[in-house]
Each structure stands twice: as C-alpha cells, then as structure tokens.
Amino acid sequence: MEKSTEQENDTLDKCLAILRKQGYKITPQRRAVLAAFGSCGRFATVQQLLEVVRRTQPDVSLDTIYRNLTLLAELGIVHEVHRPSGNAFEVVAPGHHHHHLVCTECGKTECINICPMNKLYEKEADKRGFFVTGHVFEVYGLCASCRSRLLKK
C-alpha cells in the first residue's frame, strides 16, 4: 500500500522534529534526503536517493547522502537493510521495531514483525560485560518468484 502525500508530509515532519530535538540543523540537503524517501518506495538505495535529491539539489554529492544517512541511522530515523545486491534504507516510525526477509537473488525485501531477541541474549551479553544497545536480524533466502524461476531451470 502506497503512502499518501499527507502521510509522507507527516512522516517528514516527524523526522525533522527528531533532528531539531537532537540539536541538528535542518539543511536543504538533509530535508531533500528525507523527502526523497517518498519518491523511492519503501526500501531506497543510496543511488536512488542521490538521483531524486539531485532533481532539487543538483550539486549534492554521494558523500553528502552517505553522511546524512549515517546520522539518520544513528538517530533511529532510518534503518539500513543489508542486502547482497546492495544495502537499502527505510524510514522507520519512532519506537517501531521489525526485521526483514531479504531475497539473495533479486534483493526483494519484506518486513516481518517478529523479533528473536529475548532476555537470554541480554543475560548472556551481560555475563561477558556487554550492554546491548541494539541488534540486526535479517533472514536471507529466495522470494517466491526467484525460487519458482530457479526451480524451472
């Protein structure tokens, strides 16, 4: 289901509010990177974001996109999805936690709303002197289309 323009604007406003609350400036480039997610679909690659941002900010460099994505990820505004075909980024709602299914053939990515992390992992980390601050869990395999196509070979 595609987001409406109103939903995209609301999401953008929430992201900008998080940046302001954390004391970051709202630069034209930063605003353009966040706005670009609305044109790129749920999972955007760095190249897709760069292409969209350059429509309004032609002098923006790839490095600027990466720096902004790094900051946005650190603040929990975006999530980086590790894919064999190249990493992608998605805007996440504050406090929403989920993981991903990733097709190793075509890169198709889907969200799953389950989390395998539990207190046992935290206890095990604590025994070793670690304080858990986060985790990443992505399941890799073949989507239905790729699996069907490969079985026909």
- Find the CATH number of the domain harbouring 33: 1.10.10.10
Given a cut of 60, whether residue 2 has pLDDT beyond it is no
> What's 74-89 look like in SS3?
HCCCEEEECCCCCCEE
Is the pLDDT at 14 greater than 60? The verdict is yes
**What CATH code is carried by the domain that includes residue 142?**
3.30.1490.190
Would strands 78-81 and 88-91 be described as parallel, antiparallel, or unpaired?
Answer: antiparallel
Res. 18 pLDDT band, cuts 50 70 90: very high
Q: For the residues 120-132, what does the mean pLDDT come to? A: 93
Cβ(46)–Cβ(67) below 8 Å: no
Domain boundary among 93, 128, 143: 93
- Paired tokens of 75: 């603040």
Q: Does 3 have pLDDT greater than 80?
A: no
Domain total of the chain: 2
Q: Assess whether 39 and 89 both reside in one domain.
A: yes
**Across 38-66, average pLDDT:** 95
Query: Which range of residues forms the domain containing residue 55?
Result: 1-93
Would you say residue 130 has pLDDT above 70?
A: yes
Higher-confidence position of 50 and 82 = 50
Structural domain ending residue among the three candidates 51, 75, 93? 93
